Amino acid sequence: MSTLTVPARAAPLRALASTDHKRVAIGAGAVAFAFFVAGGVLSLIMRSQLAADGGVISQDSYNQLFTMHGSTMVYLFVVPVGLAIGLYFVPLQVGAAEVAGPRVALAGLWLLVFGGLSMWAGFLTSGGAAAASWWGFDPLSDSLHSPGSGMELWIFGVVMATAGQMLWAGCVLVTALRRRAPQMTLLRMPVFTWSMLATCLLVVFAFPALIVALALLWAQRHFGGVLGGGLGAVDYQQLFWFYGHPVVYVMFFPFIGMVGEIVATFSGRRFFGHHAFILALLAFAGLSMTVWAHHMFTMGQATNKYFALTSTALVVPAGIEYLDLLGTLWRGRLRFSAAFLFALGFIVQFLVGGLTGIILASPPLDYGLNMSYFVVAHFHYTIFAGSAFGLFGGIYYWFPKLTGALLRERLGKLQFLLMAIGTNLTFFPMFVLGAEGMTRRIALYPTSTGWQPLNVLATFGALVIALSVLLFLINVWVSLRSREPAGDDPWQGQTLEWATSSPPPRHNFDALPPIRSFAPLLDAREAAQEATARARGDVAEGAPA
């Protein structure tokens, strides 16, 4: 297939309207990261309130903050940033010149921007931002309990951001399925591309439920009677969680794919059990569509036995994926770069989140822990201690490809250390607080409970995390201001993105290497080594004794 590039417009216009998947992805990543910082600031205010046990903000403001913190992190940061990285790297990894539907991808970026601004504009309204949590359950979110424009803006914002994510997922999915280079068969696609494919399947087939739920909620707020009678509010929850649990895996799969690439590269080994990993991913993705009502165990309006069974069954594909990661590390020639450290952090810390998930998958145990800080600790271990570590690993790994410059390794390792300490100081005490009965979403608690010391510890940990993020931003600034040239392949990568220049040209590749496996660059290196060894052998055979 040949490509023809249409001349570009002026630079400021390109920033607004570029259809290059790499520019769209960088724009989306930057927007998502800005929302991450904003959402992080909200969490620091909430943590200050809990450490001081009141006096920092009002209860109503606290409700707005935890709603906007959760909404920002899920709808505007983790999901978009994972998809953005897929949008950048899937076309490169499959040897495509372009993403499928570049205009659609651009539309997704602007939907994220407008959606995010709409959600946050709620703070500017007289009643404040939405305060009905990131799930917006009815009747808490109806016009009686959540009057004002803040909730309306939240609904529109979430719909826009989610629609944008569905557009991106469609683009990435079609690229992986239909735009692969001729030699790139399905089974030769790298683990990251497969993890994005599984992610996009979830986005395309689960996310529409959220848009339906929010449309019903909007109709309920304006016309009434839509969700009010019978099991209406429960049906809203069914629809919401049909989106709300798969989204947890949308916030996991891209990052385990990144970690897979990092582990293989920095172990100097071919990814162990590639085909088993793919099967496990697809089975995992399918199962993750069937577990949503475990969020509703205590409501008495869901098939608890079925959902307990499917939720527990998730450990099988998760176990296979962990086995593959550990198998890749086993006897590898490990290089402890910042990217590799973050990947190891992901493997260890996500395990804590995953294992505590097994506890919550059991209805009798969930009855005791539901709505407690144990649940908060569990999902922060999966999403922050897990996925965010995978994300930073991915950033350290792929930053040279994006910019042509290396991030500073020493600063990266220091950031990892601070983030690992901060994360565990923040979230581990929450397991204890939850087991002791501290309920989530409370702005105040009785002093007699004795929860304050652990809350102070968690708040100190949150400040350490903030410091580590600041260090990362400094690292990006320093590395771009005073560039250490990375070259095309600074890590001895294995997949196709390392076969092109850094950053890649508009059409991605001038020429593709032969693709005979999921690690074509490793194949080429091994072939070259074998040829060298054979040549040496020939010389040795022919040499006089």
Partner 1 sequence: MRRAAIVLLAWGAWLGVMTAAQAPFRSIKGPFGVHWIEAAMLGGAAATCVLAGLVLWALDARAGERESARVLATDSLATTTLVAGLALALLGAGFGLWLILIGASVAALGAGGLARETRARRRGHRGEGAP
Q: What is the dihedral of CA 171, 176, 180, 183, to 10 degrees?
A: 180
Residue 243, judged by CB atoms within 10 A of its CB (0-12, 13-18, 19+), counts as buried
Question: In terms of CB distance, is 83 or 209 closer to partner 1?
Answer: 209
For residue 372, the cross-strand partners are: 439
CA dihedral angle for residue 423, residue 381, residue 262, residue 255, rounded to 10 degrees = -130
Give Cα 423 distance to the centre of its chain. 17
Considering only 4, 539, 540, 543, the residue that binds partner 1 (CB under 8 A) is 4
Find, among 172, 165, 190, the residue nearest to 258 by Cα: 190
Q: Of 178, 275, 516, 534, which lies in the binding site for partner 1, with binding defined by CB under 8 A?
A: 178
Instruction: Give whichever of 285 and 476 is closer to partner 1, judged by the CB atom.
Output: 285
- Measured from the CB atom, the residue of 305 and 410 that comes closer to partner 1 is 305
Q: State the DSSP H helix or E strand holding residue 106, giving kind and residue range, or none if neither.
A: helix 102-121
List of residues 6+ apart from 141 with CB closer than 8 A: 130, 132, 151, 217, 221
Asked if 242 touches partner 1 (CB under 8 A), the answer is yes
C-beta of residue 222 within 8 angstroms of C-beta of residue 199: no
- For 386-402, b where at least 16 C-beta lie within 10 A, e where not — what string? bbbbbbbbbbbbbbbbb
What mask of x and - would describe binding to partner 1 in positions 301 to 340, judged by CB under 8 A? Answer: xxxxxx---x------------------------------
Q: Which is nearer to partner 1, 314 or 395 (CB)?
A: 314
CB of 181 within 8 A of CB of 247? no
Q: Which of residues 209, 210, 248, 486 is near partner 1 by CB under 8 A?
A: 209
DSSP 224: -
38, 41, 287, 358: residue in contact with partner 1 (rule CB under 8 A): 287
226 touches partner 1 by CB under 8 A = no
Site size for partner 1 (CB under 8 A): 68
Binding mask 267-286 for partner 1 (x = CB under 8 A): ---------------xx-xx
Q: Is 156 helix (H, G, I), strand (E, B) or coil?
A: helix
Angle of CA points 132, 137, 141, to nearest 5°: 50
Quick check: 456 binds partner 1 (CB under 8 A)? no
Tell which positions 148-167 bind partner 1, by CB under 8 A.
Answer: 149, 152-153, 155-156, 159-160
300 binds partner 1 (CB under 8 A): yes
- Cβ closer to partner 1: 114 or 322? 114
179-208 mask for partner 1 (x: CB under 8 A)? -x----xx----------x---x---xx--
Give the C-alpha separation, 21 to 13, whole Å: 16
Judged by CB under 8 A, the stretch of 12-20, 135-143, 323-331, 426-434 that binds partner 1 is 12-20
Is 388 a residue that touches partner 1 (CB under 8 A)? no
Looking only at residues 113 through 142 of this chain, which bind partner 1 when binding is defined by CB under 8 A? Answer: 114-115, 118
5 touches partner 1 (CB under 8 A): yes
List all residues 6 or more positions away from 349 whose beta carbon is below 8 Å from its beta carbon: 381, 385, 386, 389, 420, 423, 424
Work out whether 14 is an interface residue with partner 1 (CB under 8 A). Answer: yes
CA distance 417 to 409: 12
In whole angstroms, the minimum distance from the beta carbon of 449 to partner 1 comes to: 33
Judged by CB under 8 A, does residue 483 bind partner 1?
no
Q: Specify the DSSP class assigned to residue 372.
A: B
Minimum distance from CB of 303 to partner 1 (Å)? 5
Binding of partner 1 by 13 (CB under 8 A)? yes
User: Which residues form the interface with partner 1 (CB under 8 A)?
Assistant: 1-9, 13-14, 16-20, 97-98, 102-103, 106-107, 110-111, 114-115, 118, 149, 152-153, 155-156, 159-160, 177-178, 180, 185-186, 197, 201, 205-206, 209, 218, 231, 235, 238-239, 242, 282-283, 285-287, 289-290, 293, 300-306, 310, 506-507
